[in-house]
Structure 1
Amino acid sequence: MARILVADDEASLREFVHRALTHHGHDVVSVNDGAEALLELQRDPAFDLLLTDIVMPIMDGIALSLKVAKDFPDLKILLMTGYAAERQRAHNLDDLIHDVISKPFTLSEICGKVEEALVSEPGPGEGASTRDMGLIDKR
């Protein structure tokens, strides 16, 4: 069981992901945006994975990932997006994130990507680029 922080401004998707990951045995905390995610991490940094949307109000997933990678370097990061252009922006974070999953996704797809991220070694930011590790899907 892992502790996972989910940040997404779309309530229905956030609830879907929360229920899916909880059903798979994880302890999940969900928030509405990057600023709330950062506050949650400052309050309680004991998370194994940050699963965040890229496009959100107040603080987007890219800004959140940069801040989290600096302040919580052991926390694994998995990004979600429904926008191809945003997926391209995420490639600038190859050394900081595990992967980017495209929306829409199925229950099995999101759970599979989360499991991949949780078991990945070495973690991003620990000397191996996710591109070098073959983890960034270049579609």
Structure 2
Amino acid sequence: MATILLADDDAAVRDLVRRALTSEGHNVQVTQDGLEALDILEMSASGVDILISDVDMPQLDGISLAEKALALKPSLAIVLMSGFSDQLERAARLRARKLLSISKPFTLEQIKQIVRTVLS
């Protein structure tokens, strides 16, 4: 199973996604913003397999976080979540790397499936 870093400023989303993914056997660490997630990655990027991040967060948005995370660990798999399609379009330049996106709202089965896809 994977070690997942989950960054979202919405506590309800963090809790639901964390519970869904831990039920699949994954180790999930949660953060409430991009800067906190980046701090964790800087300390232990090698220990994180997947970064799941909301795009719209205070201080450091998900796309900027993804760019910085990939600089630390180019093999890192990234899943970006957003309720706004135009935000996901901003991530298009990262598509050549290992990046998937999911639109909010999503079901718990959809987030589980996207993690399975990343790991396959």
Q: Same fold (TM over 0.5)?
A: yes
Following superposition, the deviation at residue 41 of structure 1 comes to 1.1
Following superposition, the deviation at residue 98 of structure 1 comes to 2.2
Following superposition, the deviation at residue 97 of structure 1 comes to 3.8
Aligned residues: 119
Structure with larger Rg: 1
Structure 1 or 2: larger helix share?
2
Inter-partner Cα distance in structure 1 for 2:71 and 2:119: 19
Tell me, which stretches of 5 or more residues in structure 2 are unaligned? none
Inter-partner Cα distance in structure 2 for 1:40 and 1:114: 20
SS at match of 1:44: helix
Deviation per residue, 1:26-85 (Å, 9 max, x gap): 000000011000111122220110011111000000100111111111211111110111
Moved over 2 A (4+): none
Inter-partner Cα distance in structure 2 for 1:118 and 1:94: 17
Q: Provide TM-score, normalisation by structure 1.
A: 0.82
Residue 6 of structure 2 aligns with which residue?
6
Tell me, which stretches of 5 or more residues in structure 1 are unaligned? 120-139
What is the RMSD of the two structures over their aligned residues, measured on CA atoms?
A: 0.9
Inter-partner Cα distance in structure 2 for 1:93 and 1:78: 11
After TM superposition, the structure 1 = structure 2 runs for residues 8-47 of structure 1, keeping only pairs within 5 Å, are: 8-45=8-45, 46-47=47-48
Instruction: Give, as a single letter, the amino acid of the residue that structure 1 aligns with 2:52.
Output: L
Residue 62 of structure 1 aligns with which residue?
63
Percent identity (aligned): 44
Q: Provide TM-score, normalisation by structure 2.
A: 0.95
1:90 is aligned to 2:102: no
